[in-house]
Amino acid sequence: MISVISLRFILGHIVLGLALLMIAPCMLAWYLHTADLKAFLTSEVITLGTGLLLVLAKRPGAPQLRAREIFLLTTTSWLTICVLGALPFIFSHTVSNFTDAVFESVSGVTTTGATVLTGIDQLPRDILLWRSMMQWIGGLGIVALGAAVLPYLRIGGMRLFKAESSDFSEKALPHTRRILLQLLLVYAAISTACAISYLLAGMSLFDAINHAMTTVSTGGYSTHSKSFAYFQSAGVETVAIVFMLIAAVPFMLYIRMYSGNIRELFHDTQVHSMLVAYFFIAVILVLWLAVTGDVDVIDSFREAVFSVVSIGTTTGFVSEDYATWGTFAVIVFFFLTFVGGCSGSTSGGIKIFRFKIATVMFAETIKRLLHPNVVVARTIQGRPLTDEIMASVMAFSLAFAFTVCTAAILMAAAGNDFVTSFSAAATATANVGPGIGSNIGPTSDFSALSQPSKWILCVAMLLVRLEIFTVVALLTPAFWRN
């Protein structure tokens, strides 16, 4: 039987954590004497009250979580944060309706970065800070999810990264808490280093803090409508490239590096594959730009690398409208949307390790066609690839493709054209942000979409950010049986 008391108690602490973080925009609104202070105070009271009610309702003796409890807790936690995170947008009248508020919140928490807000440069700073904080919170949740929860639940091939940090037995819980605390410290340290680097590169303090949070979370929200094109700075773009790549690396590697295993970062095949893929695609685009137009090679290479890293890591920052680079470039970026970074990072997408496993499966199939009786040793980075992991990766990949297709069909049914429907479905499912086309392109926003379209994309963003099966499992009758 699912322990409702334990779930409520843990969820309450998560909500209280959100209420604690909400103090920052409250203080900024008070300091700047903006009209949003009342909105943030109201949101703070509701969030704090909700958290206290959940925690104080009935305290469990010693909450123990099994797989089913974790499935339910993970989904309800993200849904609760998305709803409560939308309150400041509603009470401040930043958006005109409830749908837009939830869309902005879901896009932030899932680190997608698609926005319905227009005239971002004119928005109050407290609202801009809250948007960035929502992505920072979401990025931290994604790191914890990938490091501790998903390997334990054996979802999408993440069993491959099973460690003591993904063990929820009573004996292993203290170690799990220590690992999660270390992840928080690493996440905060990288965010601080990113903010300082942006500051040294020429950003203002406010811009540096906000962009640091949305860079390390690979979220992509900016304090300017033009995103990174606003700064027109090679130094700022270089800093962004470096920290987007840092955020796309498994955060557990940083913990091992701190413990003295520095070589592990350089020996990780996921990291190697990611860097090689991004560099190769950037070179192809530079050659394409050189052939099709009169461009400066150095500037075009930087812009190509920035755009490839931004889309590849699912951050979604924009320094140049790559939609103007020609059909070839647009198609390259469309398929790059699905790639993502490494497992255990803040990136979305399918993830590099699943592409590597698909390569292993492809090579094995060819070998068996040529030599039917051959015995193939399936390994990746020295770890055996069991049938369970292979099947899990295949199931996730099919579910991912099915989600994209279903979302695209529903978007078309909601009245959108083919390009907008398919592009929006892809960018929402992969948690990237910028789409393709005049409506949701790199220099556009999602405000023109209808309300049903936005709800479709909200479901797609949440579904895949939670690795699909975490949510789907709750919809099966077997989950609710004793």
Count of alpha carbons within 13 angstroms of residue 55, beta-carbon side = 12
CB 313 within 8 A of CB 218: yes
The model's pLDDT over 262-284, given as tens digits with 9 standing for 90+, comes to: 777 777 888 999 999 999 999 99
Residues 339, 349: Cα–Cα separation, whole Å: 5
Is 168 a domain residue?
no
Residues 93, 43: Cα–Cα separation, whole Å: 13
* pLDDT, averaged in runs of 10, over the chain (482 residues): 70 92 95 92 95 79 68 89 95 92 96 92 95 94 79 71 54 67 92 97 96 95 94 94 95 82 77 93 90 75 92 92 88 92 90 88 86 78 79 89 96 94 94 86 88 96 89 82 67
Residue 434's identity, in one-letter code, is: P
CB-based contacts of 93: which residues, under 8 Å, 6+ apart?
39
Is 418 a domain residue?
yes
User: What is the per-residue pLDDT for 167?
Assistant: 52
Is 449 a domain residue?
yes
Residue 449's domain comprises 368-480
Q: Please give the model's pTM, rounded to 2 decimal places.
A: 0.91
CB 247 within 8 A of CB 225: no
Residues 391, 398: Cα–Cα separation, whole Å: 11
67-85 and 98-109 helices, crossing angle to 10°? 130
Dihedral class, residue 222 (left if φ above 0, else alpha if ψ from -120 to 50, else beta):
beta
Residues 449, 412: Cα–Cα separation, whole Å: 11
> Which among 361, 318, 308 has a CA at the least distance from the CA of 339?
308
User: What is the per-residue pLDDT for 301?
Assistant: 87
User: What is the per-residue pLDDT for 368?
Assistant: 84
User: What is the per-residue pLDDT for 146?
Assistant: 74
Number of domains in the chain: 1
User: What is the per-residue pLDDT for 326?
Assistant: 87
Segment holding 380, helix H or strand E: strand 379-380
b/e string for 284-320 if b means 16 or more Cβ within 10 A? Answer: ebbebbeeeeebeeeebbbbbbbbbbbbbbbbbbbbb
The model's pLDDT over 59-97, given as tens digits with 9 standing for 90+, comes to: 655 556 677 788 888 899 999 999 999 999 999 999 989
User: What is the per-residue pLDDT for 386?
Assistant: 81
User: What is the per-residue pLDDT for 56?
Assistant: 84
User: What is the per-residue pLDDT for 375?
Assistant: 75
Is 422 a domain residue?
yes
Segment holding 407, helix H or strand E: helix 387-413
Is 351 a domain residue?
no
Residue 89's identity, in one-letter code, is: F
Is 227 a domain residue?
no
User: What is the per-residue pLDDT for 245?
Assistant: 96
CB 64 within 8 A of CB 156: no
Mean pLDDT of the chain: 87
Is 126 a domain residue?
no
Is 282 a domain residue?
no
